Amino acid sequence: MSELFDAIDALVASRSPLPPPAERKRLRQAHGLTLEEVATTLDVRRATVGAWESGRTEPRPPQREPYAHLLKQLARLYPSSPTAAEGSTPAATAPPAVVEVAPSAPVVAVAAPVPASPVPAPAATPPSPTAAPRPARGSRRPGAPRAAAASSPASAGSGVYAHGPLLVLDADDEQQVTGYGTGGLLLDVPARSLPALVEWALAEARVGAQKLHASGKDADPLLVLTAAACERYGLPAALSDTERSAGRLPEGHKVIKLLERAGWKLTRRGLGPWARIYRPVTGGRRQCVQLCIPSWNALDDRSWGHAATLEPAELARVLGVYAHRVMTPVGSTAVSGLELMTALNPPTRASEPDQDGKRHSEHRPGSLGTQALDPAPCEAVDGHPVLAHLPRFHIRGPQERLFEEAYDWARDLTDTECMQPHLVGIDVNLAFGAAANGAVVGLDAPPEHVTRPVFDPAVPGSWLVDLSHVDLSRVKVAKQWHDLEGGLLPSPFTPTGEQPEGPAWYATPTVAYAVELGYDVTPVEAWVRPRSGRFLDGWYKRLRDAYVATMADLGVAEKLSPGGFLAAMDGYKGRDPELGMVVDAVKMTVKGGIGKLQEKARGGGWVPGQAWPALARPTWRPDIRAAVISRARINMHRKMVALAAATGRYPVAVLSDCAVYTADGPSPLDVLPYDQDGKTVPGSFRLGVSPGMVKHEGTQDVLWGVGVLEQLTAEGRVANLARYIKTGEVTARDTGE
């Protein structure tokens, strides 16, 4: 008989009375509980508790009774009427403001708790992702708005992208999908299939971003699908080995067929980690949605760290900060860096009205235009169609090919340097970004071939000239001649730092630096681009501002004293690991964007002499890449020469934007001379957060360096201490094994 009574008690408990959904949320927030805390206690997912609070689903046994008990206990502490609880504080117990939405919307939008004195509730617009505090692990920020997407298509105006540039979609145990937006925003996602999701994103979600230039286009909505959301929409949580190798799902996949039946198309890269789903433009209206699938390796750990493993709310914050400060990502950081160039400097603009009052698309001055250009033969990478006439296994030397690459140079330590105890590495912030600033590059016209030209530093191009006569033991620094230990400095004209032996091709900044050092140049021939401009200035400024603002959020501000800067940099990423990911992503956007200007052929089936897809882009411009890298290397050399002329200090190794010096102390302040006013050698390295200034890369013992040099030399490998100065570890990968 007792078993029968127990069964009756369980049946009653399965229908335990619960307050309305909005009241459930009010009670939880009044006690300062997060969704994660409640979910962990009840052994359910965080999104499940969110669904109970929104009214999308109702609790089921065995969680219903303990959940009802929790709410009953909270209701005693925080009754609906502030005056009903003896000694309660009205401001702490006032219910949250409710903003009504259209009756057909799935939920009401609940704003954060308001003060006791009522004020009009604002529309459900997410705050800036950088203004919001970092969300608790696995939960959204307490008090963040939960909004319902409008039931009618978004209209033009300030609210067209009211829910931010992107959503991270996650599904709970009951297959309910929640969209996590910037600023802690939550959205209920009603779509039950991928085609419906794309329709919803364009018609109701109010997700996207305004264009970065008046002649550009708005950013497409970005939907980031977690593994659970992938399964909810019929996609695999992870790609198979075959799919991973192909970089996409097979053409016959059921989800792709669903998209095709609904009239949606995929770009050439198909349905992969980054997918673009679109319909042809009709009536001037663009219909395109971008997908990002972290579990398919969309977020490369070299650029994004462990962002792919973050909880949805945290991932939305990381990508949201990047989207607001850089751009809505459209692929890898390299792809986004390249797309940012076009977004900030569009190739076309609307013309003035014609006689019928109509506007037309026309070329926009200062851009790269809409047509891809062939490079000069010396600028082309091996296998390019302009080199198809060369023998198949022909190897081009410096007199046939432009070699403008970053430094990879090292030398043996002198006896005096061996007596110093420390090796100190200093690294240039956003070196390629700083080099892009002010760079004059060719624009939308093909290069012109000239023989016996007179060198003009204002004309971008490639020059065949002999610079072997430049003597680094006597150079001009700030228009004054100085005697230096030339053998202790790398040559500024080659990536290896070796002195050139005869005529070679150089970009304009390299030849201009030879003139700056006080030497005459006589080019033999050149490929020049008279139509030129500072195409990358806006690109640099956007990335520079993103980097500096994010570093300031991490406690590293501009205009700090040298000592204050070094102190602020100590452990700066640990203050907010998510913003640390954004900093790394911005750095990789700079490097990757410049690298993409010379994207090489990839994939099987390509034959040298045939074109590959990247060549069809107006932004396939190896000459611009060469100019930027040339400026970065020259900037590095100019600073090393200025320091050597003033202090007699010379680098022992240089790798791209990192230089290693011996010193009596472990700090960069033991390498770089600063006076009491915080001033250092003009034209040399300066400590600071701005691009072009330097930070501490790492310090090791000189004995460690001697050991590494002996080890790698014995193995027949190039020993560059700048490669290992940060961690001190020499791995098999580093040594080429």
Count of CB atoms within 10 A of residue 237's CB?
Answer: 14
Tens of pLDDT, residues 694-715:
999 999 999 999 999 888 888 8
What's the pLDDT score for residue 719? Answer: 85
Q: Which residue's entry shows tokens 């990839």?
A: 602
The confidence score (pLDDT) of residue 105 equals 35
* pLDDT for residue 63: 87
Assess whether pLDDT exceeds 90 at residue 469: yes
Mean pLDDT of 434-440: 97
Output the average pLDDT for the chain. 86
Q: Span 83-90, mean pLDDT?
A: 36
Look at residue 732 in the predicted model and tell me its pLDDT.
Answer: 59
Q: Say which residue the tokens 């990192």 belong to.
A: 658
Please enumerate, as own/partner, the contacts of 481-490 that have beta carbons within 8 Å and a separation of 24 or more: 481/518, 482/645, 484/641, 484/644, 484/645, 485/644, 485/650, 488/411, 488/414, 488/644, 488/650, 488/651, 489/637, 489/640, 489/641, 489/644, 489/650, 489/651, 490/407, 490/409, 490/637, 490/640, 490/651, 490/654
Higher pLDDT, 403 or 90: 403
Residue ranges of alpha helices (H) inside 173-289 are 194-203, 227-232, 241-246, 254-261
Report CA dihedral (574, 580, 581, 585) to the nearest 10 degrees. Answer: -150
Please give the residue that has the higher pLDDT: either 121 or 233.
Answer: 233
CB atoms within 10 A of CB 462: 30
CA distances from 221 to 204, 243, 276, 692 (A): 11, 25, 10, 34
Q: Would you state the structure tokens that stand for residue 190, as one six-digit string?
A: 């009603």
Query: What is the Cα gyration radius of the chain?
Result: 30
Q: Determine the distance from the C-alpha atom of residue 570 to the mean position of all C-alpha atoms in its chain, rounded to a whole number.
A: 23
Say whether pLDDT at 88 is over 60.
no
Tell me what pLDDT residue 437 has. Answer: 97
Residue 527: pLDDT band (50, 70, 90) is: very high
Which tokens in the block code for residue 627? Answer: 């100019």
**pLDDT tier, 162 (very low <50, low <70, confident <90, very high otherwise):** very high
- Residue 238, number of CB atoms within 10 A of its CB: 13
Give me the DSSP letters along 318-370. HHHHHHHHT----SSHHHHHHHHHHHHS-SEEEPPP-TTS---EEEPTTS--S
* pLDDT for the residue numbered 610: 92
pLDDT at 366 over 50: yes
Task: From 710, 731, 728, select the one nearest 719 (Cα to Cα).
Answer: 710
**Tens-place pLDDT, residues 189-215:** 999 999 999 999 999 999 999 999 999
Residue 17 confidence (pLDDT): 84
Domains in the chain, start-ordered, CATH in brackets? 1-96 (1.10.260), 97-111+125-331 (no CATH)
Residue 76, pLDDT score: 83
pLDDT band, very low/low/confident/very high, at 121 (cuts 50, 70, 90)? very low
Give the Cα separation of 737 and 726 in Å (integer).
20
Nearest one of 488, 473, 463 to 519, comparing CA atoms: 473
Taking only the tens place, the pLDDT of each residue in 551-591 is 999 999 999 999 999 999 999 999 999 999 999 999 999 99
34 Cβ contact list (under 8 Å, min separation 6): 136, 139, 142
- Alpha-helical (H) ranges within 206-297 are 227-232, 241-246, 254-261
Query: According to the model, what pLDDT value does residue 115 have?
Result: 34
Write b or e for each residue in 514-549: b if 16 or more Cβ atoms lie within 10 A of its Cβ, otherwise e. Answer: bebbbeebebebbbbbeebbbbbbbbbebbbebbbb
What is the percent of the chain with per-residue pLDDT over 90, rounded to a whole number? 68
pLDDT(112) > 60: no
Provide the pLDDT for residue 130.
Answer: 58
pLDDT tens per residue, range 682-698: 999 999 999 999 999 99
What integer is the mean pLDDT of 603-609? 83
- What are the Cα distances from residue 509, in Å, to 494, 498, 607, 684? 13, 18, 34, 18
Are residues 139 and 46 in contact, defined by beta-carbon separation less than 8 angstroms? Answer: yes
pLDDT of residue 73: 85
DSSP string spanning 632-674?
A: HHHHHHHHHHHHHHHH----SEEETTEEEEEESSSSGGGTS--
Instruction: pLDDT band for 29, please (50, 70, 90 cuts).
Output: confident
Q: Identify the residue with better confidence: 550 or 605.
A: 550
pLDDT at 524: 97
Parallel, antiparallel, or unpaired for β 461-466 and 98-99? unpaired
Using pLDDT thresholds of 50, 70 and 90, give the confidence band for residue 146.
low
pLDDT in the model for residue 731: 73
Contact 177, 170 (CB under 8 A): yes
With a cut of 90, say whether residue 80 has pLDDT above it.
Answer: no
Q: Is 513 helix (H, G, I), strand (E, B) or coil?
A: helix
Cβ of 118: how many Cβ atoms within 10 Å?
9
Residue-wise pLDDT tens digits, 438-448? 999 999 999 99
pTM of the model: 0.81
The stretch 284-297 carries a mean pLDDT of 91
120 band by pLDDT with thresholds 50, 70 and 90: very low
Q: Greater confidence, 119 or 309?
A: 309
* pLDDT reported for residue 453: 96
Average the pLDDT over 365-393 and give the result. Answer: 94
* Type of residue at 539: W
Q: What pLDDT, on the 0 to 100 scale, is given for residue 435?
A: 97
Contact 311, 137 (CB under 8 A): yes
